[in-house]
Structure 1
Amino acid sequence: MPLVPVKELLKKAEEGKYAVGAFNVNNMEIVQAILAAAEAERAPVIMQASQGAIKYAGIEYIYALASLAASQATVPVALHLDHGTSFEQCMKCIRVGFTSVMIDGSKLPLEENIALTNKVLEVARATGVSVEAELGKIGGTEDDIHVDEKEAFFTDPEEARYFVEKTGVDALAPSVGTAHGQYKGIPKLDFPRLEKIAQLVKIPLVLHGSSGVPDEAIQEAIRLGVRKVNIDTNIREAFTNTCREVLGKNPKEIDPRKVLGPAREAATQVIREKIRVFGSAGRA
């Protein structure tokens, strides 16, 4: 089946009160792992590419891999730009065939963030592409974007209401206590804030930096209105740790397939576990 817009998946997730997993892709093996996990769990899935992934693999390769995966899938697959920071980058992704883009204007003053989001929405609406926006900074490092912990600030619920009212965006990523990358301790999410935002905006919410957040905390966030959960670090850990193990046991191994094959399998298992946590298993 062709790639589907994220808003379609999130609409069904809202009806069923579960979340769809959005998993970052960097290479062929990870695309295959996401699809294998989604098929095994009979779950809708979002493949997403960050600026770093696009720089590494090339936008055409990312699109070709994801669209090939979708064409072979019996479950819905979407392709999303994660943390697009410019209008131009969003346009490139829409032009290539991405079915969803995120415009991250969270570092801008509120009115500038609204203006940038609306500029992207204007084109996206005409092409049937979903748009996610961000309000409030999410700490940590996501490829080239670094937000200092002290600089990270939580999303103001009233500001979120105003932002959604002025844009009509399809999904919103609020800052409620998660961070990108590996956590030093256990993150504490601000559930009252999340609940208030969900009540005021009445659109699907997105949880970024979810690797390392305890399962119960993710499930509580879903109960409060999160419909898309982003996972990247956990996949990287499973993938690279398995490569290390294989090469550690056989340092003379020179066949990439014997290294990357087990890594792909490890990533598949992690993604399957996440899909079950999100409640999207069996929802395809």
Structure 2
Amino acid sequence: MSYVNMKSILTDARKNRYAVGAFNIVNYLTAKAAVEGAEELNQNIILQTSVKTVKAFGVIEMMSWLKPIVEEAKVKVAIHLDHSTDVAFTKTCIDAGWSSVMYDGSKLPLLENIANTKEIVAYAQKFDVTVEGELGAIVGVEDDIYVKEGEGAHARLEDCKVFLSETKVDAFAPAIGTAHGVYKGEINLDYDLFETINSNSPCPLVLHGGTGLTDGMFYRLIDLGAAKVNISTAVKIAYCQGMKDYMEQNPKQNNPLKLDAYVKEQVKKMVQEHIRFFSLSDRKRPNYEVDLHCHTTRSDGSDTPKELIDKASSLGMCVIAMTDHDVLPADKIEVNGIMVDMTAYAKTKGVKVLPGIEFSCETQAEDVHLVVLGCDYSDDKIREMNKKIVESKIHTYRELTEVLTKKGFPITWDEVLNYGGIPRKSEDVQKKIIFNLMAEKGYVETWSDGKLLCRNNPEYSVKRQKPKAVDIIKLAHETGGICILAHPYLIDETIKIDEKKISRDEFIESLIEAGLDGIEASYTYDKTTYHGKLTKNEIIEKIKEMYTDKVAIISGGSDYHADYKKTSKNIREVGECGISYDYFKNNACLSAIAK
């Protein structure tokens, strides 16, 4: 049977973590366009009718032409009454054949809202009709419901628990910061609230005010449990703009059927774009939802902190760590010319950002890097360590450019400071910038070739004084953070520590004894200087096997640098390597620093 209530449609969506589009149709043409669009994609759909639209046609009259469209459909379709504030009118629509209704008592006191909703649920169950409820105040205009800017109110978790327990609604729409109509400013959504409500809700959640949200916002909310997404304004825009466009293109045309056909196609196209998106059929998913190893322009990355956050949001990432090399993380970042709090900005994009540092350690060894997260970066101890590192870096990297120039590979310090057209302070320079310049000037093929040339050839080798790894572990713990060994298999099998040669495995064991919290298993070895025999996946499994019982965290990260802006080779993407969000949430150390 094609004509159904919302239960089977939304139950499957919630179970399989996608969303179903609920489109507010305004007439026969938009209803037909929406259903045909869904049929062509073989996706279920919900047709919504506003109270104003129903009253304009008449309850019986509207159902007389709407129901046949649905009953002949090749996919499941629900007809849903949207935002009804009148108990009697809601029952009238149930009597007339609506398969689903929404009673909106969100502007009433909680107990009155509950009482009215319970009455609707009891009545609807007699006819196998599903009921949607709402709590909180969603800004904007929806029929005769008007909530002014600044008067919107998020749903309260405790109220939601009581409402859901008492009413037994089939779908629930909590207010979390979305708005009806076209958004007029910055969109600030409370993703944490939505996630918590979903974990406490026995029924699927509904997202109102979907028109105007970014791809990243939709992805994040669907990941967090949105099973139904309401689209109203976009339908009206497609319908009206279609008429305007057709008449502008055909000013002498007076054939209403041709006009209708054109407008119908525009509405169908819009509906299909949303259906594809909500069903996630075209979604470019990252391999992992959490990436604990990323870089920005604050060290040797090519994305600004804002660009990295925006990119992570567009991919539906849950958590990223900004771990720029040997520099203190920024509290504020530039967004549209204004300095704003970094973690607060990321939250508006649905992404949790963990500020961190990737420390280069051990003067006599290469690629011994420790990622620290969750520290108090204002602590004098970590600031003093950073000061020493910066002084050593500036001296050594200037010396490296001088050595390369003498050897026939001219690179000036000014080129380094302004690499990529981004002016930077001397303390923000990273060695990879020099390697990038070597590749771009044609001295070597790739940046990693430049790294190997300087690393393996004594003539080009300029070593800076680096802190001992055990000291960084101690520092992280003293400042309230955790410490993770990055890319362990980039470390040579035999290294020199304090003039003594030891194996890589022995070195890692010594770090564990010193209190190392985690080891990075998932890493982009296939796109770096690694030339060992093991594959990336074999390394992951080996690290898990060897160290799962020895450290608290088996970590992962892409070592993202926005390489695509500089080269077409060995490009690393955000989330290409990392860990699952479930692992992140359930790991005691990681969840503690995320609070």
The answer to whether TM tops 0.5 is yes
SS in 2 for 1:206: strand
Query: TM-score under structure 2 normalisation?
Result: 0.46
In the alignment, is the contact (CA less than 8 A) between 1:2 and 1:67 conserved in 2? no
In the alignment, is the contact (CA less than 8 A) between 1:114 and 1:167 conserved in 2? yes
- Superposed CA RMSD in Å reads 1.5
Looking at structure 1, the residues matched to 245 and 20 of structure 2 have their Cα atoms a distance apart, in angstroms, of: 31
In the alignment, is the contact (CA less than 8 A) between 2:103 and 2:131 conserved in 1? yes
Match of 2:262 in 1: 262
Task: Report the Cα offset of residue 153 of structure 1.
Answer: 0.3
Looking at structure 2, the residues matched to 42 and 66 of structure 1 have their Cα atoms a distance apart, in angstroms, of: 20
**Which amino acid in 1 is paired with 2:265?**
E
Q: RCO higher in 1 or 2 (8 Å CA, sep ≥ 6)?
A: 1
**Unaligned stretches of 5+ in structure 2?**
283-595
SS in 1 for 2:131: strand
Q: Is 1:230 equivalent to 2:230 in the alignment?
A: yes
Match of 2:48 in 1: 48
Q: Is 1:68 equivalent to 2:68 in the alignment?
A: yes
Match of 1:169 in 2: 169
Closer, same or farther in 2 for the Cα pair 1:64/1:280, shift >3 Å? farther
Q: Is 1:245 equivalent to 2:245 in the alignment?
A: yes
**Which amino acid in 2 is paired with 1:34?**
A
Match of 2:557 in 1: none
Deviation by residue 1:46-73 (Cα, 9 ceiling, x = unmatched): 0010012112222223323331112221
Match of 1:27 in 2: 27
Task: Report the Cα offset of residue 157 of structure 1.
Answer: 1.3
Looking at structure 2, the residues matched to 189 and 202 of structure 1 have their Cα atoms a distance apart, in angstroms, of: 22
In the alignment, is the contact (CA less than 8 A) between 1:20 and 1:278 conserved in 2? yes
Match of 2:114 in 1: 114
SS in 1 for 2:68: helix
**Which amino acid in 2 is paired with 1:6?**
M
SS in 2 for 1:18: coil
SS in 2 for 1:108: coil
Looking at structure 2, the residues matched to 73 and 244 of structure 1 have their Cα atoms a distance apart, in angstroms, of: 30
Match of 1:17 in 2: 17
Q: Tell which deviates more after alignment, 79-88 or 5-14.
A: 5-14
Match of 2:407 in 1: none
Query: TM-score under structure 1 normalisation?
Result: 0.95
Match of 2:151 in 1: 151
- Provide the aligned length of Structure 1 versus Structure 2: 282
In the alignment, is the contact (CA less than 8 A) between 2:47 and 2:80 conserved in 1? yes
Of Structure 1 and Structure 2, which has the larger fraction of its residues in helix?
Answer: 1
Q: Map of 1:123-134 to 2, 5 A cutoff?
A: 123-134=123-134
Task: Report the Cα offset of residue 186 of structure 1.
Answer: 4.7
Match of 2:209 in 1: 209
Task: Report the Cα offset of residue 240 of structure 1.
Answer: 0.7
Q: Map of 1:80-99 to 2, 5 A cutoff?
A: 80-99=80-99
Task: Report the Cα offset of residue 185 of structure 1.
Answer: 3.1
SS in 1 for 2:126: helix
Task: Report the Cα offset of residue 281 of structure 1.
Answer: 6.0
Task: Report the Cα offset of residue 2 of structure 1.
Answer: 4.6
Task: Report the Cα offset of residue 25 of structure 1.
Answer: 1.2
Closer, same or farther in 2 for the Cα pair 1:71/1:147, shift >3 Å? same
Task: Report the Cα offset of residue 192 of structure 1.
Answer: 0.6
Closer, same or farther in 2 for the Cα pair 1:108/1:206, shift >3 Å? same
Looking at structure 2, the residues matched to 195 and 32 of structure 1 have their Cα atoms a distance apart, in angstroms, of: 35
In the alignment, is the contact (CA less than 8 A) between 1:22 and 1:228 conserved in 2? yes
SS in 2 for 1:102: strand
Match of 1:3 in 2: 3
Percent pairwise identity: 39
In the alignment, is the contact (CA less than 8 A) between 1:26 and 1:56 conserved in 2? no
Task: Report the Cα offset of residue 247 of structure 1.
Answer: 1.4
Task: Report the Cα offset of residue 151 of structure 1.
Answer: 1.5
In the alignment, is the contact (CA less than 8 A) between 2:48 and 2:81 conserved in 1? yes
Q: Map of 1:130-145 to 2, 5 A cutoff?
A: 130-145=130-145
In the alignment, is the contact (CA less than 8 A) between 2:25 and 2:235 conserved in 1? no
Closer, same or farther in 2 for the Cα pair 1:22/1:281, shift >3 Å? farther
Looking at structure 1, the residues matched to 91 and 185 of structure 2 have their Cα atoms a distance apart, in angstroms, of: 38
Task: Report the Cα offset of residue 24 of structure 1.
Answer: 0.6
Match of 2:523 in 1: none
Closer, same or farther in 2 for the Cα pair 1:187/1:138, shift >3 Å? same
Match of 1:101 in 2: 101
Q: Tell which deviates more after alignment, 174-183 or 104-113.
A: 174-183
**Which amino acid in 2 is paired with 1:160?**
C
Deviation by residue 1:143-175 (Cα, 9 ceiling, x = unmatched): 221111221100011110111011111111110
Deviation by residue 1:176-218 (Cα, 9 ceiling, x = unmatched): 1111111123523210110111112232110011011112211
Looking at structure 2, the residues matched to 188 and 40 of structure 1 have their Cα atoms a distance apart, in angstroms, of: 35
SS in 1 for 2:268: helix
Looking at structure 1, the residues matched to 160 and 259 of structure 2 have their Cα atoms a distance apart, in angstroms, of: 45
In the alignment, is the contact (CA less than 8 A) between 1:139 and 1:147 conserved in 2? yes
Looking at structure 1, the residues matched to 29 and 225 of structure 2 have their Cα atoms a distance apart, in angstroms, of: 32
Looking at structure 1, the residues matched to 260 and 16 of structure 2 have their Cα atoms a distance apart, in angstroms, of: 36
